[in-house]
Each structure stands twice: as structure tokens, then as C-alpha cells.
Structure 1
């Protein structure tokens, strides 16, 4: 089975909720998409840059199913996200320090040149130069899917628009889907997965609804990473021949388990 190489960030995340939930934990879209794909049985590797503070993440408990051969390391702090949610799990504010992820674009482009035969998933988030990466993937004839992050989605969807009809799948939430419709012809896209919190998730194929699944009702500990879990799980099942409806049902169930599970702690740095 072709490995899924996930271009994006692995980060330190701080989450906050009005009811005093929240934690400091290991996060990042590249981590969560990769982990979900690996748990669903597909080989997967994060294409990321880790700073010195997260250099020990590849040896962290619970992450041994991930292929870490595509990550890079750099001196300096890793990406940090401070995420504030409302009681409904909607993101209301995010503060970011990108740290060594400023080097992600160069790392990703070099990786694509070395491994054009991989299937790629691109987490279209700052500071990645999304246009440069997607252009390189198309130029190399690679297959790829993409997702977005609402605070930067308008800029990123606009940047990605010329290449979106080359994707295998686009993952968005309901608000991002409206932006996607504003910047591209969604009827030209082979597959779009739209999540909407506790409301039905849907798959659209060339503008026609191909599947709809209502997520299981669970009380979440954390919502950050749920969409990434949907993406990784969906891609893993589709790669094995599952229908859109089958893959979406598996993805919704995996996301429901993810949001109720304990978070991954940030591993302690080894002493020199």
C-alpha cells in the first residue's frame, strides 16, 4: 500500500474552553492526520520540522505506529498553537508561534522531489507556501489531498484554487466549504468531505452528494484534531477500496473516539 505522506505541523498546543476544560498537549494537523491513517491500517509519515523541544516526539509512547522517516529537525522552538473554543466546540481565537515551521516549505519541496511516488496530504496552513507545494506535486505527477484551517482558510483556499481540481479529496468544515464555493467550482472537484460538528458530515463528488453520516453523539474532552482524524481515517479506508459512505462512517466513528480519549502529553526533553 502506498504510504501517505502528510505535509504539515507537529506542535505544542494549548486548548482553552469557557468551562475550564483544556490542556497543554502534543498536537498539529500532520500528527493527527498521520496517526489516524496509521490506526486505520495505512502506512503514514508526517513531513514536518521538529524543533529541539519536540526532538523526542518520535520515541513518545503511543506514536510508534507512525513512520517518522520523513521529518526534519532544526534548532529552535517548535510550532505552538494557543486555541480558544466556545462551549459548542467552535474555534473563536488562535494565537500562533510558528518557530522552526518557517522551514517547512523547503523541507516539503525537497521531500516531494525525492519521493514523487508517495500519496500526499497537504495541511494548508501558515506558514506553508501552499501554492509552491501544490504546484510541485502537480509537476511531479503525485496524487494528493488537502485540508484547511478556518483562521487562514480564505487566503489558503484562494492560493490553492488553481490546483484543487487535481486533488483526490478536499476536506473542509461547513464554514470552509462556503469559502471553497466562493473561490472554485466545487462541481469540478472529484471529492469533497464536509464536516459540521455534531451535524451530518457529507461527501460531494463532482457537485453531487455521495454520502451523509451523522456523527456518534459523544461528550468531548477536546475537539481540536477531530477534523484531522476524519481526514486520515477517510483516506486510509478509501485507499483500500471503501465506498465514500463506508469511509465516512469509519471516519466519523474514529473522530468520536478521538475527542473523548486522553490527549498526548508533550514528552520531556532528554538531558544533554
Structure 2
């Protein structure tokens, strides 16, 4: 099975909730999608830029099952995100420091040129130049899927709209789906996966509802990354021939398990 190359950030995240949950954790969509894909049986490679503070991640126990050959190391800090949630678990504010991830677009374009026949998932969020990356992927005829991040979704969906009908799958939450519908006719999209927190997740193929799965009730410890986990799992299962409902069921179950588990700690560098 061809590996899944995931273009996006690997970051240091700090989350805040009104009930004092949250804290510092390892995150980034490229990492979380890749981990979920690997757990579901498909090797994944984060196409990312790591700064000095996270340069030790490749080979770290628990992360060494990933293909780290697509990452680049740069001198400086890795991306950081501070995420504030309300009592319902909805994201209300984000503060970002992109650090060496400012070089992600150039790295991603070079990687696509080196592996034009690869299969890609693009995490459409800052600081990535989404238009440039999707144009390059479609120019090569590469297979790709995409997801978005609500604070930048309006901008990123508009930037990506021209190429979205060529995507094998588009992952959005309910608010992002409304933005997507305002930009283009979703009946032209082969597969859209829509999540809605504790409400039913859906698969829509060319605008028609084809699967709906209600998440199991779980007490959420950390919601950041739930959508990434669902996406990585869904893509892995679909690559093995699972039907949309089967893949969605697996993705919803993986996301429910993820939000109730302890967040990923940032591993300390290994002694030299």
C-alpha cells in the first residue's frame, strides 16, 4: 500500500478550557493525521518542518512507527499554537507562532516534485500556501485529500476551491461545511466528511448523504485533534477498500477514543 504523505504542521500546543482542563501537549495536524493513519494500518509520513525543539521526534518511542523521511529540520523554534475553548468544547480563539513552519510551503512543493506519484493529505491552514500546493498536486495528477481548521477555514476554502473537485475527500466540521457551501456547489465533490461534535458525523458523495454515524458518548479530556484522528483513520480504512459507512464508523470510534485519552506529551530529547 502506498504511504500517505501528510502536508502540515507538527507543533507544540497549549489548550485552555473554562474548567481548567488543558495544558501543553504535542500536536499539529500532520502528526495527528499520520498517527491515526498508522494505527489504522496505513503507513504515513508527515511532510513538515521541525525546529530545534522538536528535532528529536523521529525515532522517539511511540512515534517511530511513522515514516519520517519527508520531514525537514530547520534552525529555530517549531510551530506553536495556543487554543482557547468554551464550555461546550468550541474553539473561540487561537494564538499562533509559526517559527520554522514558515518554510513549509517550499518544503512541501519540493517533496511533491520528488514524489509526484504519491498520495497526499493536505492540512489547509496557515502558514501553508494552499493554492500553490494544490496547484502543484493537480499538475502532477497526484491523488490528494484535504481538511480545514475553522479559524482560517473561510480564507483557506476560497484559496482551495478551484482544486477541491479533484480531491478524493474533503474533511470539514459543520461550521466549515456551511462555509464550503457558500463558496462552491458541494454536489461537485466526490466525498465530503462532515463532523459535528457529539452529533452524527456524515459522508456526502456528490452532495448526497450516504452514511451517518453517531459518536459514542465519551467524557472528553481534550478535543484538539479529534478531527485529525477521524480523518487519518477514515483515509486508511478507505485505502483498504472499506465502504464509506465502515470507514466513518472506524473514524468516529477512533476520534472518541482519542478525546478521552491523555494528550500526547512532548517527549524530552534523548541524552547524547
TM range (shorter): over 0.9
Question: In the alignment, what sits opposite 1:114?
Answer: 114
The reply to whether residue 102 of structure 1 matches residue 71 of structure 2 is no
Deviation string, structure 1 residues 83-115 (Cα, Å, up to 9, x no partner): 011121110110000000000000000000001
Between the aligned partners of 2:149 and 2:245, the Cα distance in structure 1 is 24
Aligned counterparts, 1:52-91, within 5 A: 52-91=52-91
1:194–1:203 Cα contact (<8 Å) kept = yes
Q: Which runs of 4+ in 1 moved over 6 A?
A: none
How many residue pairs are counted as aligned between the two chains? 272
State the partner residue of 1:160.
Answer: 160
After superposition, the C-alpha distances for 1:105-148 in whole angstroms (9 at most, x for unaligned) are 00000000001121100000001000000000000110000000
SS at match of 2:180: helix
Give the Cα–Cα distance (whole angstroms) in 2 for the partners of residues 256 and 60 of structure 1.
25
- For residues 97 and 246 of structure 2, what CA distance do their matches in structure 1 show? 38
User: In structure 2, what is the Cα distance between the partners aligned to 1:189 and 1:245?
Assistant: 17
Tell me the equivalent position of 1:175: 175
Q: 1:123 corresponds to which residue?
A: 123
1:144 paired residue number: 144
* Inter-partner Cα distance in structure 2 for 1:12 and 1:192: 29
SS, match of residue 77 in structure 2: coil
Aligned positions of 1:30-41 closer than 5 A: 30-41=30-41
CA contact (8 A) 1:186 1:206 kept: yes
Aligned Cα root-mean-square deviation (Å): 0.9
Q: Please, which runs of 5 or more residues in structure 2 have no aligned partner?
A: none
Distance in 1 of aligned mates of 2:65 and 2:250: 19
In the alignment, the residues of structure 1 paired with residue 263 and residue 175 of structure 2 have an alpha-carbon distance, to the nearest angstrom, of 26
Q: TM-score, normalised by structure 1?
A: 0.98
In structure 1, the residue corresponding to 2:217 is in which secondary structure? coil
Q: Is the 8 A contact 1:39 1:65 kept in 2?
A: no
The answer to whether the 8 A contact 1:16-1:84 is kept is yes
Which residue of 2 is the match for residue 8 of structure 1?
A: 8
User: Which stretch shifts more, 64-73 or 196-205?
Assistant: 64-73
- Deviation of 1:271 (Å): 6.3
Give the structure 1 partner of residue 238 of structure 2.
Answer: 238
Once residues 68 and 269 of structure 2 are traced to their aligned partners in structure 1, the CA distance between those partners, rounded to angstroms, is 18
Please give the TM-score of this superposition, normalised by the length of structure 2.
Answer: 0.98
